[in-house]
Chain A
């Protein structure tokens, strides 16, 4: 697991990967996200925290247009990925999702073999010219997902037969296999036990070296452990956004303080 270069936590690059400007999201008549402005940096783990129903998952799903699959959902405002508006008519959401990968709350391996699960993305995007290249991508992705050693002898076994933590790491490997630039994680550890959670957190920290990672979490300890930037959402508003250390030790907004000290939520 430690065969990769782990970057020093304190290093911060100033590249803006995703910039959201005045984003509003409506579900039918309800106003789920209100005027959110946020800038997500490259090669950084950004955590979204906040009480249930505050809109953090909704906002996350805006970043790769997964909300398009919900009929009644409308998104207003600009979300720029590398300076390009992802809600522009010319942008194909399918292409976008290959660039902005996503890992879901519940591990959702396809009912296929472990190999086919990881090879799924590369196959539909034509990333491999031949079987050897595909094998290489699968191995690399599984290594990056920190699960290669556990599954290398049974790549033909069904992905659904793995344990919960292994399934989630398989899903991360699957997302990594399409070579995304941003990785969105929607409460990736909420269905996992503490040991599996620790493994996934370690993995997230390693992934930071290559990707911009955005993670939604209910656990404030987790946000504090894995992220460099934290955004606190409350009732659809982005209340506070800043370096994780500052949010947790010296929040500016009284609502943030109430939440992290457990008075609201």
Chain B
């Protein structure tokens, strides 16, 4: 039975369980709903869940595990000498899978009967031509070992699928029956449903965490491959970034890290004062009407896709800076060669971060109790004295946290630097020169034709992991500081 119908059956069964459980609960209470421990629908949910959850869980696990199991069994059947010189066992296995699928397709389309498909090796038919007819293209003639393996593959997966259907159906019916038989007016169905809700929430929470772990592990794996091909001393302590796809590249993170930190620093130089002052104005001075109007407006800035900021950097800020500092510019100096520079990217990134800093700081400033302000104003302090001497010191740890979060965003930002910062990896203190960042290099190393066995491509993972560790560290530090601050008032 196809999986779709199996799932449909489960859904139907659980729907039936809902009504069945409900009716039975009401029946055991002789129609008097007040006698039931829980509301009638909870009994329905209980039966419904018992029929559905274990069965669908078993189905999911089976669907994941069966291909792996069959793969190992079948690949064990292929003798080592059957693998051609230029090939690998993996390639042969993919042929096996394709032949198996092709035979299934042929049966489905009526070209072969099931019996003919099983005996296709004896019939002397040209299997490759047959595969061609059903739309499965094979590079070679089908060798007997492959055909044998494909037949075994089909057998195993047929058996597996039948077994799966039986197990799932039994589980569903068993769950249904078990829960149905437990349905009684004193049964605490509501508590069971409550636990099921809890389980669902825990599952959702752990899924997010597990995904993060998965991402880190996959990066770690590729990074290990990279360090197998390239020396780690060059990566961490070298001074040149010069990837060369013919080999002999120098791949050092330091020039990229310098560019990243320099651009982020300029971005924070723009974003922190402006964002902080905006937050102070909005939370301490602005009237309700101004606040209601200005705060959403500022937050719209945060909703602009960064690629749009990138365009702004490329088309407006870069040329404007070049007009000022470039050749034939207004200042009459020749400090800037093109429109892309550290300053271009830094300024635009700073603008991007303003709403981020201001909205976080605004929340933190608002969390300072009104009693602090009243106390200071009541002593005859002015508003700005109050802000400077009472509100800011009280909010400072939180604001530091906000700035660190902004810094970690700046370090991880990609599109603005791709479009505004340039592509030259170097150490320079001149903000009007082009530089490049870690994220920009990851993009350029992974775009186009890539060979995932060369250090020039794999370096992207090492860069990504370093970036991840860097921003993770900043975030942890920021959250630690913010949390410590919150404890003061609660």
A89 within 8 A of B: no
A111 and B488 within 8 A (CB)? yes
Give the 4 A-B CB pairs with smallest separation, nearest first.
A98-B380, A108-B371, A102-B378, A97-B380
Please give the number of chain A residues whose Cβ is less than 8 angstroms from any Cβ of chain B in the complex.
Answer: 28
CB closest chain-B residue, reference A98: B380
A112 and B393 within 8 A (CB)? yes
B381 and A108 within 8 A (CB)? no
B380 and A95 within 8 A (CB)? yes
In angstroms, Cα B378 to Cα A178, docked, is: 11
Partner of B380, one of A112, A160, A178: A178
- Stretch from A36-44, A117-125, A201-209 at the B interface: A117-125
B79 within 8 A of A: no
20 additional contacts, CB 8 Å, given A120-B389, A175-B379?
Answer: A66-B374, A66-B378, A69-B373, A69-B377, A97-B379, A101-B378, A102-B374, A102-B378, A104-B374, A108-B371, A108-B372, A110-B372, A110-B375, A110-B376, A111-B393, A112-B393, A124-B380, A124-B389, A171-B375, A174-B375
Q: Which residues of A contact B (CB under 8 A)?
A: 64, 66, 69, 71, 94-99, 101-102, 104, 106, 108-112, 120-121, 124-125, 160, 171, 174-175, 178
CB closest chain-A residue, reference B287: A71
Q: Tell me the minimal C-beta distance from A183 to chain B in angstroms.
A: 11
* B-side interface mostly: helix
A124 and B378 within 8 A (CB)? no
Q: Which of B105-141 contact A (CB under 8 A)?
A: none
Contacting residues, chain A, for B451 (C-beta < 8 A): none
In angstroms, Cα B380 to Cα A61, docked, is: 14
- A110-B394, A111-B394, A160-B488 in contact; A97/B372 too (CB < 8 A)? no
A178 and B379 within 8 A (CB)? yes
Q: Tell me the minimal C-beta distance from B115 to chain A in angstroms.
A: 85
Q: Tell me the minimal C-beta distance from B352 to chain A in angstroms.
A: 32
Please give the number of chain B residues whose Cβ is less than 8 angstroms from any Cβ of chain A in the complex.
Answer: 21
Contacting residues, chain A, for B6 (C-beta < 8 A): none
B390 and A110 within 8 A (CB)? yes
Q: Tell me the minimal C-beta distance from A187 to chain B in angstroms.
A: 13
Contacting residues, chain A, for B375 (C-beta < 8 A): 104, 108-110, 171, 174
Partner of B376, one of A101, A120, A160: A120
A94 and B378 within 8 A (CB)? no
Contacting residues, chain B, for A69 (C-beta < 8 A): 373-374, 377
Contacting residues, chain B, for A175 (C-beta < 8 A): 378-379
In angstroms, Cα B369 to Cα A121, docked, is: 19
